[in-house]
Amino acid sequence: MVIFLLLLLVAVALGIIGVAAHGLGYLLIIGIVVFVADIAIAAARWSRRTARHAGR
């Protein structure tokens, strides 16, 4: 859970810096990629956790 929140914070910070600073739009793109990767990791963990409970 800590990794999820840390990656979410990094994605938001990169997005804000990318939008606020002119010429650093690539940071916004990196922030979006980090956010999508974070959501994918969280979804994989959640589905793996529910799959274990479904087998009982």
User: Residue 54: its pLDDT value, please?
Assistant: 61
Find out whether 37 and 7 touch, Cβ atoms under 8 Å.
Answer: yes
- Residue 26: predicted pLDDT: 85
For residue 5, CA distances in Å to 1, 20, 40, 51 come to 6, 22, 13, 23
Q: What are phi and psi of 26, to 5 degrees?
A: -65, -25
In this prediction, residue 31 carries a pLDDT of: 85
For residue 9, pLDDT over 80 is answered with yes
pLDDT > 70: percent of the chain: 84
Based on the structure, what is the number of domains in the chain? Answer: 1
The parent domain of residue 19 ranges over 2-54
User: 30 falls in which pLDDT band (50, 70, 90)?
Assistant: confident
Residue 7: both structure tokens together: 């990656």
Which secondary structure element, helix H or strand E, spans residue 38, and what is its range?
A: helix 25-54
Lowest mean pLDDT among 10-14, 19-23, 40-44: 19-23
